[in-house]
Structure 1
């Protein structure tokens, strides 16, 4: 068996490991093992690729230097990101990874179309699709990361003529793709297609507000997978096709689940215009809302928690922004040690990326058995003595149950059905949707106005005095 055949079988084995790794990620108990298996399979696939290139002897000394430099720089950046990037910045990092994946896939197609003379349909068709999907993913993911980081406004950005432009650009890259397929050696068609796709990625994401960012991240992740699969067709590499389609299909399923969790269509989300950042100032809303708010202190809340039988924590982006996951975990351990039933209500779109709260709480070593999804936890709220909301806003707003507002029909956590509700929040500021939260003016809701990290630390100390 020659080197080429051996490497081919190694690639197939790596692809099988990707499938198994994704399966293992279905459960928190095996997720880390699945991630490790997938990473190891990718390392083996990269080593096999280097072996194949060395055996073919088609790369120059300069080429080896570039290859080694790219590998070292990429590995160093990946290691730095994994170790140093805060959990609060994980959504931005995921968006940047999407951009890197889409951009790399598009460059593969560009390189092959520039290198191969008279490329046939087998290369030009997937190559054109690769360029379109990859370039859109690259620029769109950068804009999404900018919105999440605050470099670009989290509010929908709609400029005059944006809607017609977003219709014209897809028509342009359809025409450009046909041109490139018919004339694969045309540099004008190639560069024009790249430029139009990059522009469309920007105009596609700019009108989408912060409330829809979790769905956008999942969709761009699916785009990345599709671009990688197209690159696999260009290179005729089965493993790359399998890996890309795994990412694409799982990302597509996740996008649909996230959209359903918001009771919105994917098409409606991509049209944009919904959601602002979570720093909007409070307004009086509809008739003296601030005057109806009941403010509580750390001691008030501590008494409720210390003498409760069942407590449900409801984490939101405010918890991530304050980096207070460890303080929350410590408070939960204190209550659990006192015999109190503790659980966490996790809404599918809480935070700024799919699974944001799960990842955040896992960092604080919260037992995964205490994490409960919306459908599981909602029936338990009426039995909860205290529901403690930490920085969650729209996903707890009872107004979603009524028609005629920005979040009408969106499934929410039934926090208002608990016997007592406490909300930790810095102010009466709005959530992504920019509307008042009726939960805050509910007679059984106490507002604990403080930073989440400071407030949870104060609660831990106060509860400790009661149960110690």
Structure 2
């Protein structure tokens, strides 16, 4: 059978879409250029999809239009209805769909290789030999691509489902530690890789079925030991997995756009995960192995030391901030839970009218996904030029009048700098202890961060504890500022 070769103009179109995807990643690296980045990504995807539909005999036009209408309609409705505070679980859910798509594409290619061979213009199987597979024996190279694509996709799917359930509060965010989990995980991964190799020699249904089943299981096992507060790295890593799954399926389908896109997503997600691991003083290898998350278990049960601390009111906070020259706000997951970002921006606007300099300090792992705090502040229309990363603002705390901490904990814990026995030792943190006054908004003195470590900032002489729901406390401060 004569194969259809991809025309040169289509390869050029795929190249253009790849460049647009790179520009999209570049744009998304900054809140100020994120809208342009999104536009580049959408244009690139339209070009890639349109080129694929024109050059490949995949399905009839009514089927294609129907699928696009259904998928696009669902996506549009979700985008319109989803709250910004629910963005982490939405991202996890979308990652699961990417993984599931890779699994389904791989199975479709396995069950009907002849159809895929014709549609993609590739060489998926060898026609000279017949061992019970319709149309011939699938090539060894295609077997490896197919097996790895299905395995990575299945891991992404089941892992993302667990991440979604934890982020959405539908299951406990606490780490679930199985006995011998490292041995089980390593053994399962080795078994998957061994089966992928065996699949090149025996293309029986049970082989690819077992690969899929084990991959679904290992995705589940990798994520359940990870605590809810470690989710930023998890979401980033799952994003990387979804990219590699797409790239593997791109090789199976002989689609350059999928290979380019998958490689970009996979590599950028892995790089981001590495950066975030360094920010949390975590081992990158332990993330991949699902081995982190053990820290809370080791230290969370230790009794808290009873030490004197000072409690303040909204009126006290309003008076001190009104008299200050500079205020640095450090948001955390507690702000997201209480949805206090709009009230916080209102508080900042009032302070700026009083001549106070207001800045926001964002830690790389604050929240439940990469950039979580940036997304929430953008939703509240906080100006981009007031938001700073840790390395850009940390030196300013020494001259700061008020450090206003709302819902953050471990990212301001000085134990990360001084206590070598602490599970967060070595993690870069904000130097809030150098500020003249520290205001710490949290629900109660009983709560601790993901590390389970008490925070010395609570008990400093210059610290005022503002114990209440974050949104209510900030709203009360705004009312007090108005008087």
TM-score, scaled relative to structure 2: 0.89
Change in 2 beyond 3 A, CA 1:264/1:283: closer
CA contact (8 A) 1:211 1:274 kept: no
**1:164 Cα deviation (Å)?**
2.5
Matched residue of 2:310: which SS? Answer: coil
- Residue 353 of structure 2 corresponds to 337
For the residues of structure 2 that align with 1:284 and 1:454, how far apart are their CA atoms? 31
- Residue 244 of structure 2 corresponds to 226
- Residue 99 of structure 2 corresponds to 102
1:147-186 mapped onto 2 (5 Å cutoff):
147-183=166-202, 185-186=203-204
Matched residue of 1:387: which SS? Answer: strand
For the residues of structure 1 that align with 2:467 and 2:248, how far apart are their CA atoms? 51
- Residue 12 of structure 2 corresponds to 9
Change in 2 beyond 3 A, CA 1:284/1:198: closer
CA contact (8 A) 2:432 2:438 kept: yes
**1:283 Cα deviation (Å)?**
9.1
Match of 1:285 among 275, 291, 303: 303
Change in 2 beyond 3 A, CA 1:108/1:284: closer
1:166-315 mapped onto 2 (5 Å cutoff):
166-183=185-202, 185-269=203-287, 270-274=290-294, 285-289=303-307, 292-315=308-331
**1:367 Cα deviation (Å)?**
1.1
Q: Structure 1 residue 73 and structure 2 residue 70: aligned?
A: yes
Matched residue of 1:182: which SS? Answer: coil
- Residue 30 of structure 2 corresponds to 27
CA contact (8 A) 1:155 1:275 kept: no
- Residue 45 of structure 1 corresponds to 48
For the residues of structure 1 that align with 2:385 and 2:321, how far apart are their CA atoms? 21
For the residues of structure 1 that align with 2:473 and 2:29, how far apart are their CA atoms? 34
Matched residue of 1:410: which SS? Answer: coil
Aligned residues: 452
Q: Structure 1 residue 127 and structure 2 residue 143: aligned?
A: no
Range with greater deviation from structure 2 (429-438 or 6-15): 6-15
- Residue 117 of structure 2 corresponds to none
Q: How well do the aligned residues superpose, as a CA RMSD in angstroms? A: 2.1
1:343-362 mapped onto 2 (5 Å cutoff):
343-362=359-378
Matched residue of 1:424: which SS? Answer: strand
Matched residue of 2:285: which SS? Answer: helix
Which 5+ residue runs of structure 2 have no aligned equivalent?
114-135
For the residues of structure 2 that align with 1:261 and 1:189, how far apart are their CA atoms? 41
CA contact (8 A) 2:331 2:405 kept: yes
Matched residue of 2:423: which SS? Answer: coil
Runs of 4+ aligned structure 1 residues displaced above 4 Å come to 2-6
